[in-house]
Every structure is written in structure tokens, then in C-alpha cells.
Amino acid sequence: MRATAAEESQSGNLVLLCLASWAIPGAGHLWLGRRNKGLVFLVALPLMFAVGLSLRGRLFPFDFSDPLVLLEALADFGMGATYFLSKALGYGAGDVRAVTYEYGNAFLVVAGLLNLLVVIDAYDIALGRK
Amino acid sequence: MRSHLLLLILFAFFVSLVFAAIAKDDVREQIRYGGAMFAGFVVSAIVLGWLMYPFPL
């Protein structure tokens, strides 16, 4: 069965919504009119990510030879534009000698994973499930 | 900041805040849910820390 033009337009909007929500934490919720939630995500997640960077955590490379590093890289990648901006500005090299290195990694990884949860939440709201 | 406890509290705060905002819509429920999660994080970390205290490294 072929999708109608309205259904295709809606699925296109959903993809755009998810991409926006991934790229800018909270953007999806702001788009859907959930202003308070969107602002909470917009402030909390980049701040958590910045704390991770300030603790000398590392933005892991996509190393397919090491599954754990790859998983951490995927989690970091979950932060969207903040991830690319940090890379471009030269942050996230990581300092394994720093006492706070592992704490920094935990903040970075969890911030990325939480943003992916936020994307799923925005998707659910857009579909009317919430 | 190098304090393990303060970093744990900061981590618990961020995670509880985001989870409460995702899981609940009403502000009162968010505060209750987020507060319970935050307390759970901190108390369980302290209890586990003390339970591990007798074990040598």
C-alpha cells in the first residue's frame, strides 16, 4: 500500500524533528510547544557535556577495532551539534593522567545518551503517544 | 573540582533533572520524581561506598 502525500509529509516532518532534537538538545520539545521541558534540556544537557569536557574527559574516536571505544564514541555522538562544536574547537582530547578523567568520560557519555532519550521522547510526543 | 562526592552529586542532579522532565508532565510530579531519584542516587552511592570500605584495594 502506498503512503499518501500527507503521510509522507508527516514522516518527513518527524525525521526533521528528530534531527533537530538530536542536533540541539530540547529543540524538538520547543518545536512541539513543550517550552519548559525544551528549555530544561537546552540548558542541562550542554552544561553536563561542558562539565565533562572541563573534567578532561575524552570524546572517543570511531575505532571499530575496539568495541567499547566505539560504543563510547556513539554515546558522545548523541550530543549532536555540541559534539561537533567541541571537536572543532579542539576540546575533548582527554587527559588520561588527570584524576577526573573517568568522571569526565561518565559526564560526556551520559549527556549523549540522555539526549538520545530526549529525541525518543520528542518522537513519542509528535506521534501523540504522550 | 576533584571531590568524588561533589561530582557524584552534580552527576545525580543532571540525570535526575532530565529523567524527571522526560517522565513527568506536571511540575509537582517532576519535583517529587526527580527528588526521589536524586536521593536514591546519593544515598545508594554512600551506602555502597561504606559497604566497600572494609575491602582492600
Q: Do B21 and A37 touch (CB under 8 A)?
A: yes
Q: Do A44 and B18 touch (CB under 8 A)?
A: yes
Which residues in chain A have their CB less than 8 angstroms from residue B1's CB? Answer: 55, 100
Largest CA distance in chain B: 46
Query: Running DSSP on this structure, what letter comes out for residue A93?
Result: B
Q: ipTM value of the model? A: 0.90
The whole-angstrom distance between A111's CA and the closest CA on chain B is 8
Q: How far apart are CA A52 and CA A93, in angstroms?
A: 12
Q: What are the pLDDT digits (tens) for A65-108?
A: 999 999 999 999 999 999 999 999 999 999 999 999 999 999 99
The whole-angstrom distance between B4's CA and the closest CA on chain A is 9
Whether A42 and A25 have beta carbons less than 8 Å apart is answered as yes
Picking from B4, B10, B21, the nearest residue to A40 by CB comes out as B21
What are the residues whose beta carbons fall under 8 Å from the beta carbon of A22, sequence distance 6 or more? Answer: A78, A80, A115, A116, A119
pLDDT of residue A5: 67
The whole-angstrom distance between A100's CA and the closest CA on chain B is 7
pLDDT of residue B55: 87
Q: To the nearest whole percent, how much of chain A has pLDDT over 70?
A: 96
Picking from A36, A48, A103, the nearest residue to B14 by CB comes out as A48
Alpha helix locations (H) across chain A?
Answer: 5-23, 27-31, 35-54, 67-77, 81-88, 101-126
Q: What are the pLDDT digits (tens) for A102-126?
A: 999 999 999 999 999 999 999 999 9
Q: Which residue has the cell 570500605?
A: B53
| Bridge partner residues of A58 (DSSP) | A93
User: Please, what is the end-to-end C-alpha distance for chain B in angstroms?
Assistant: 24
Q: Do A117 and B14 touch (CB under 8 A)?
A: no
Whether A26 and A79 have beta carbons less than 8 Å apart is answered as no
What are the residues whose beta carbons fall under 8 Å from the beta carbon of A14, sequence distance 6 or more? Answer: A123, A126, A127
Chain A residues contacting B via beta carbons under 8 Å = 36-37, 40-41, 44-45, 47-48, 51, 55, 99-100, 103, 106-107, 110-111, 114, 117-118, 121, 130
Q: How far apart are CA A83 and CA A68, in angstroms?
A: 19
